[in-house]
Structure 1
Amino acid sequence: MMIQSLKVALFTRRSLQSVRLLTQKRSQCSLPDHSSDDDLDQQVLVEGSAWSRTAILNRPSALNALNTNMGARLLKLYNSWEENPDVGFVVMKGSGRAFCAGGDIVSLYRFINEGKMEECKKFFSTLYTFMYIVGTYLKPHVAILNGITMGGGAGVSLPGTFRVATDKTVFAFPEALIGFHPDAGASFHLSHLPGRLGEYLALTGEKLKGEEMVACGVATHYFHSSRLSLIEEHLRSLVTDDASVIESSLEKYGDLVYPDKTSVLHRIETLDKCFSHDTVEEIIDSLETESAGTNDPWYTSTLKRLKEASPLSMKVALKSIREGRYQTFDQCLTREYRMSLQGTSMQISGDFREGVRARMVDKDSLPKWNPPTLEQVSEDMVNQYFSPLSDFEPELDLPTKLREAFP
């Protein structure tokens, strides 16, 4: 199969002709502004040019991990830029060696230990709402994914118009390895990848390189990192609100690349065969059957990663991806909000807290999952993950009546 044939139109490009007609209908999000403190403002920096604004995620020591404050500040900035007729398009990038490594899970770990469930809710509702804003933004959006781009970092970039990958980009949704579920819109994005690539990435947490991201449609363009300053300077010089002009500029300077022969994208038929099964147990059995009699290290590596992940998280992730295939972006975010609250509530399992402890806090890489095996994960446990915390728990309140979600 030609790699080029793997390209898919994940995201519908929005026509900017409707901007002036719809802007009057949009109101700013009502989430409170938590970014009045100068130090907190430094976590998202702003660069301006004649016709664009650049949001810079600026927590380099934490690989630009997103916290509630950053989400609130981004919401405020993006709403003001969307209403400003002098801003034609928006750029997002990161400081240091990461675009964004995801959500600040260590902060969530502390919230859980301190019994601050309301802080967990605020974290997810703020960031998921911002992701929805990016996904329904009226102006072109360019995310420069130079460096680590995982979890929430993908969540704030993939819904936008353009995603630029580089030779330094490392992309993944590794949540199952920390006892969580692929969130931040992952169930929508991953389920729309070619074949069963989404299931593979969700269950194993494996990484994609920049070239692979372009080939499968996760990224729209590719540049060598040595040329990024040139590209950014060119973007700053543009005087336009036309997505086609920005696209032409990115294509003019972009590099044509192909995944190397070791890429998992050359195994799409194998992924379709093994990861299309109904259960995680059947997926593992299929991989073991296919690997029998071969010395292919890919099977060994894939099975090893599956055995390292939380059994509950894998079953939840598989169900989430399968549901995401038939839901809109806003429906996926709303469902994932319920799942994230369940995952941090400790009512079903403490796997998230244990996974963060083992991977990020104590760093012993020896999480004790509960339940410890796939066989002990009941269907009721998985289904509970998809339910509200209680009959009185409000759903994620996205501004869907003001902003149309893409299908």
Structure 2
Amino acid sequence: MTEDLIVRREGAAGRITLNRPKALNSLTLDMVRGMQKALDAWRDDPEVRIVLIDGAGEKAFCAGGDIRRLWESARDKDGHAETFWREEYILNAAIKRYPKPYVALIDGITMGGGVGVSAHGSHRVMTERTMFAMPETGIGFFPDVGGTHLLSHQPGEVGTYLALTGARLKGADVIYAGGADAMVDAAAIETLAGELCAAAYTAAAHEEVDAILDAHAIDPGLAPLGDVKPAIDRCFAFDRMEDILAALETEESEFAAETLKTLGQKSPTGLKLTLAGLRRARAQSLETALTMELRMSVRCLDSHDFSEGIRSVVVDKDHAPKWNPPTVAEVEDAAIEAFFAPLGEGRDLSFG
């Protein structure tokens, strides 16, 4: 147990609680390391049959990484950001391939790094309070923590739309977009957690977790995203950001107009970088995508828009970033390609 991360055994479960409610449970390097240590210890412990992760408080599961600390690292060139991303991405891959049920109770705000420690799990449970988003293009960045892999494998071009716009999802849309498997009432979360911990699991623990979740699941209703998916598929099917914007301009609908307005507020470099990463990730395994993402992340440390985006949102909070280049048309393809070059000197990501 630490101040920011509570790790304990409860019945048949290894439990992890992200414990920074005042910071919306945003992740620090120590929290990432604590989670990795717990997962490693529980992997071969016969007394631990499942892993259960949640967030303290009622506002957030996890709103992402500590981006102010990343901004400071970019400013000070102290190496912290690269170390954080490297260990975070290794954790994301470990969650994906974990042999025991990994149950994420994603109650409240779930963004960025919070998606990384939940969406790769075997069982993702949301509530009516869940708000899911990958808003990184708004800070000159891209959906990392395996986000390029997750979003590039969603139905049609829904993932492309979510990655570029940073759209905030609730209700059935979260399940539709692949961020959760089931929905339960927030008031039932503690009861559900208690049953998951108290169950007498056999060798079929995954199926037994399924049964417990099914007993608590509620109907999330229809997903509004489904209504606009045809327009999303038409407009976001292109490999060039310029073509996506042109398609939206000719779509002539309220959805297209609102989407154009939203994209106009994002970092042009972030938009082009995100689209390029998504298209590459379509044919990649999660580990390969994470290796690519580390290259992209490290290069963002030296980019203007990453520091400027965080400054505008978190540091000065004026929400008036000055992007450079200021338009999509002015972002050169060669500049985007440079983000994907190997890091060299043994710095590229490797998995044990």
In the TM superposition, 1:5-404 aligns within 5 A as 41-96=2-57, 97-116=59-78, 118-240=79-201, 242-259=205-222, 263-291=224-252, 294=253, 296=254, 298-344=255-301, 346=302, 349-389=303-343, 391-392=344-345, 394-399=347-352
Amino acid at match of 1:310: S
Give a deviation string over 1:95-130, Cα, whole Å, max 9, x none. 1211010111110111111121x2111111111111
Offset at residue 239 of structure 1 (A): 1.9
Query: Which whole-Å deviations, capped at 9, do the CAs of 1:123-145 have from their partners, x for residues lacking one?
Result: 11111111111011011010000
- 8 A Cα contact 1:215 1:258, kept in partner: no
Amino acid at match of 2:345: F
Which range moves more in the overlay, 194-203 or 237-246? 237-246
Give the distance between the partners of 1:210 and 1:75, measured in 2 at CA: 30
Kept in 1: contact 2:176–2:225 (CA 8 A) = no
Tell me the distance in 1 between the aligned counterparts of 2:33 and 2:153: 28
- Does the CA-based 8 Å contact 1:167-1:211 persist in structure 2? no
Q: Is the contact between residue 132 and residue 179 of structure 2 (CA under 8 Å) also seen in structure 1?
A: no
1:16-51 CA-to-partner distances (Å, cap 9, x unmatched) read: xxxxxxxxxxxxxxxxxxxxxx7xx22110242221
SS at match of 1:308: coil
**Amino acid of the residue matched to residue 75 of structure 2?**
N
**Separation in structure 2 between the aligned mates of residue 360 and residue 259 of structure 1, nearest angstrom:** 35
Q: Tell me by how many angstroms 1:269 deviates.
A: 0.9
Q: For 2:175 and 2:329, how far apart are their aligned partners in 1?
A: 37
Q: Which residue in 2 is equivalent to 1:8?
A: none
Aligned-residue Cα RMSD (Å) equals: 1.3
TM-score (norm 1): 0.83
Give the partner amino acid of 1:382. Answer: I
Q: How far 1:198 sits from its partner (Å)?
A: 0.6
Total equivalences in the alignment: 349
Residue 393 of structure 1, CA deviation: 5.1
Tell me how far 1:92 sits from its aligned partner: 0.5
Q: Distance in 1 between matches of 2:346 and 2:136?
A: 24
Unaligned 5+ segments in structure 2 are: none
- In structure 2, give the amino acid aligned to 1:352: F
Look up the equivalent residue of 2:219 and give its one-letter code: L
CA distance in structure 2 between the aligned counterparts of 1:290 and 1:301, rounded to whole angstroms = 11
Q: Is the 8 A contact 1:50 1:239 kept in 2?
A: no
Contact 1:63 1:98 in 2 (8 A): yes
Instruction: Kindly provide the CA deviation profile for residues 372-406 of structure 1, in whole angstroms up to 9, marking residues without a partner as x.
Output: 111111111110011134x435211211xxxxxxx
Summarize the Cα distance change of 1:217–1:119 in structure 2 as closer, same or farther, 3 Å threshold. Answer: closer
What is the identity, as a one-letter code, of the residue corresponding to 2:306?
Answer: F
For residue 281 of structure 1, report the CA deviation from its aligned partner.
1.1
For the 8 Å contact 1:55–1:92, the answer to whether it is kept is yes
Aligned-residue offset at 1:259 = 3.0
Give the Cα separation in 2 of the matches to 1:270 and 1:133.
36
Compute the TM-score of the two structures, normalised by the length of structure 2: 0.96
Residues of 2 paired with 1:393 and 1:129: CA distance?
A: 15
State whether residues 342 and 388 of structure 1, in contact with CA within 8 Å, keep that contact through their aligned partners in structure 2. Answer: no
CA-to-aligned-CA distance 1:215-234 (integer Å, 9 cap, x gap): 34321110111221221121
Amino-acid identity (%): 36
Q: Deviations over 1:44-76 (max 9, x none)?
A: 102422211110001111111111111111110
